[in-house]
């Protein structure tokens, strides 16, 4: 039985070229980038080149890129660092009800520290209201944090409009672009964003490495302490192997982005076409037009999410509920709940996400197996 991986939004397989780029740093190139001798300076050069590669992919300056341990740390660093550095202005920030828990849990932490958070709602497509954000801004608002594209339903947010409102009001704007990076064109010279989070393991690089874009001249309090790395913004010896792999993955994904976008859109259309031909009952979740091409969230009302996932795994298909798994049982998705969808839709939602290694043949085979499972559940 062929195993088909359709959970790339959770994590992606490491590209062989990325692994090759990392191996020297587990073998002969072991110097600390902060060391002055030649061993250290060789690895320092690699870190500097990688920083330039990632900066170029965003049309940013290398000095505006801070390496982190991943998207979660980047989100934490953005929110905690900005709020701490600008406490004299106020203690209020704005986010949405469908953010990744890396943002939502950080907001809850800040609330325990005495900060105030406004959670802006979304509509049934998972789209944040620009006007609701405008109305939520107060004189003491320091930061707005809205994700670029949702990791569960794929809905793209009106980032440009929100960014313009933030700038009109002198408020900093952060976007979690972890799911969008590699499939959407991100240009910080055009996008009105001040901070932007990235994660390497979503683009066929290793886990444990990410980055935060911080626009030039923005003051941010250090999130970690204990060294002068990353221009004193993030202490800790750099993960050189991870950084090297991250940069190689960026080179690959940026060169093939448009080709991959087209492939993912074809995969999406192919799945839906096969289900329609089979007469499978389903409901699409998310925005019908503005969505990340690699994420397809769909509900099969006749079969519960947990049952569907178990059957998919037996059939060799990896997918996700898009919600947290605790002690072997599924929690109801906070994203789908925030979208105010019917209970039957929320309790039967499945996320399929495409990426490196998938093929049209795999998608056809998976779609037919999925359709068969759904129809079998109807009997």
Q: Is 107 a known active-site residue?
A: no
What DSSP element (H or E) covers 117? strand 116-120
Write the pLDDT tens digit of every residue in 44-102.
999 999 999 999 999 999 999 999 999 999 999 999 999 999 999 999 999 999 999 99
Closest listed residue to residue 334, CA positions, set 147, 177, 132:
147
N-terminal to C-terminal alpha carbon distance within the chain = 25
Residue 378 has pLDDT above 80, yes or no: no
Write down the catalytic residue from 187, 325, 342, 376: 325
Domain borders along the chain are 4-12+257-378, 16-255
- Does this model's pTM top 0.85? My answer is yes
16-255 — its CATH code?
3.40.640.10
Write the pLDDT tens digit of every residue in 96-108.
999 999 999 999 9
Surface-to-core class of residue 89, CB atoms within 10 Å of its CB (0-12 exposed, 13-18 middle, 19+ buried):
middle
pLDDT at position 234 is 94
pLDDT > 90 in the chain, percent: 91
Whether the domain at 4-12+257-378 and the domain at 16-255 fall into the same CATH topology = no
Beta 283-285 vs 210-214: how paired, if at all? unpaired
Mean pLDDT of all residues in 20-25: 96
CATH of 4-12+257-378, picked from 3.20.80.10, 3.30.1320.10, 3.90.1150.10, 3.40.190.120, is: 3.90.1150.10
């Amino acid at each position: 039985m062929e195993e088909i991986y359709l959970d790339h939004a959770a994590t992606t397989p490491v590209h062989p070229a990325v692994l090759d780029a990392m191996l020297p740093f587990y073998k002969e190139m072991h110097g600390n980038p902060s060391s002055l001798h030649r061993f250290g300076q060789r690895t320092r050069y690699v870190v500097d080149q990688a920083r330039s590669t990632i900066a170029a992919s965003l049309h940013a300056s290398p000095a505006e890129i801070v390496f982190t341990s991943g998207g979660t740390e980047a989100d934490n660093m953005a929110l905690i660092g900005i709020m701490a550095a600008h406490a004299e202005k106020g203690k209020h920030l704005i986010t949405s009800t469908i953010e990744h828990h890396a943002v939502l849990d950080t907001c809850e932490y800040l609330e325990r520290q005495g900060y105030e958070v406004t959670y802006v709602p979304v509509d049934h497509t998972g789209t944040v209201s620009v006007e609701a954000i405008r109305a939520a801004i107060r004189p003491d608002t320091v930061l707005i944090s809205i994700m670029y594209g949702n990791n569960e339903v794929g809905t793209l947010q009106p980032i440009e409009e929100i960014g313009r409102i933030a700038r009109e009001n002198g408020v900093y704007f952060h976007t979690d672009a972890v799911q969008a990076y590699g499939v959407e064109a991100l240009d910080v010279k055009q996008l009105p964003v001040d901070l932007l989070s990235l994660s390497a393991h979503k683009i066929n690089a290793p886990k444990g490495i990410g980055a935060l874009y911080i626009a030039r001249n923005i003051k941010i309090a250090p999130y970690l302490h204990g060294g002068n790395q990353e221009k004193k913004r993030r202490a800790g010896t750099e993960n050189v192997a991870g950084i090297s792999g991250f940069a190689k993955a960026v080179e690959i994904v940026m060169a093939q982005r448009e080709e991959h976008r087209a492939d993912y859109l074809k995969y999406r259309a192919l799945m839906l076409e096969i289900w329609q031909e089979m007469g499978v009952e389903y409901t699409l979740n998310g925005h019908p037009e503005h969505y990340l091409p690699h994420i397809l969230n769909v509900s099969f009302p006749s079969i519960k999410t947990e049952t569907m996932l178990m059957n998919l795994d037996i059939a060799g298909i990896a997918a996700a509920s898009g919600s947290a798994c605790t002690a072997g049982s599924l929690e109801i998705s906070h994203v789908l709940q925030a979208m105010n969808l019917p209970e039957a839709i929320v309790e039967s939602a499945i996320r399929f996400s495409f990426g490196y290694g998938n093929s049209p043949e795999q998608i056809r085979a998976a779609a037919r197996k999925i359709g068969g499972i759904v129809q079998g559940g109807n009997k």
